[in-house]
Amino acid sequence: MSIDKKTSSPEETKEFGRSLAKRLNPGSLVALIGPLGSGKTVLIQGICSGLEVEKVVTSPSFVIINEYPGKLHKSPIWIYHFDLYRLENVEEFVKLGYEEYFYGRGITLIEWAEKVKPFLPKKRWEVHLKIPSENERRICVEEL
């Protein structure tokens, strides 16, 4: 399955994230790929909103990962939000124990996923974000 969506505001991007959240299941991994300012964090905020996360969702640029309790189909679930922008090397990533997050029962969301592409599970959601213009974002989602 693939989705190609254009949004023209951060709120539209968040709304798209909320709709994408409805398609996720325990163990889902969403790999976000796109340039700085393309809306990765905004999309994740929407996904987390759709998963009933009550905490403020911010990009974990300096700590690499944030964990949020949420709900999926009214059942509790953990959401793991990785931001790999400041990742210096893959060894640093491996030391995080990524397998527990990637292959567990929670939902994993990864910004800058291209930095660890060889480590990503074959079964995943891959999201490519582009910036056609200042106020427009193009979001291409593929379920692999």
Query: pLDDT digit string (tens) for 35-55?
Result: 999 999 999 999 999 999 999
Residue 63's pLDDT is 84
Q: Write the Ramachandran bin of 4: left for phi over 0, alpha for psi from -120 to 50, otherwise beta.
A: beta
Q: Compute the distance between CA of residue 66 and CA of residue 44 in angstroms, rounded to an integer.
A: 12
Can you give the residue range of the structural domain that contains 117? 2-143
Mean pLDDT across the chain: 96
Contacts of 77 (CB under 8 A, 6+ apart): 26, 51, 69, 70, 71, 105, 106, 107
Task: Decide: 50 and 20 in contact? Cβ < 8 Å.
Answer: yes
Task: Decide: 33 and 113 in contact? Cβ < 8 Å.
Answer: yes
Q: Is the pLDDT of residue 61 over 80?
A: no
Residue 14's pLDDT is 98
Q: Compute the distance between CA of residue 11 and CA of residue 46 in angstroms, rounded to an integer.
A: 8
Nearest 5°: phi and psi at 84? -100, 15
Nearest 5°: phi and psi at 45? -60, -40
Residue 53's pLDDT is 98
- The confidence band for 17, taking pLDDT boundaries of 50, 70 and 90, is very high
> Integer distance in angstroms from the first to the last C-alpha of the chain?
8
Query: pLDDT digit string (tens) for 109-129?
Result: 999 999 999 999 999 999 999
Please tell me the pTM assigned to this model.
0.95
Strand, coil or helix: 125: strand
Residue 21: which CATH number? 3.40.50.300
Q: Compute the distance between CA of residue 97 and CA of residue 99 in angstroms, rounded to an integer.
A: 6
Task: Decide: 99 and 26 in contact? Cβ < 8 Å.
Answer: no
Report how many domains make up the chain: 1
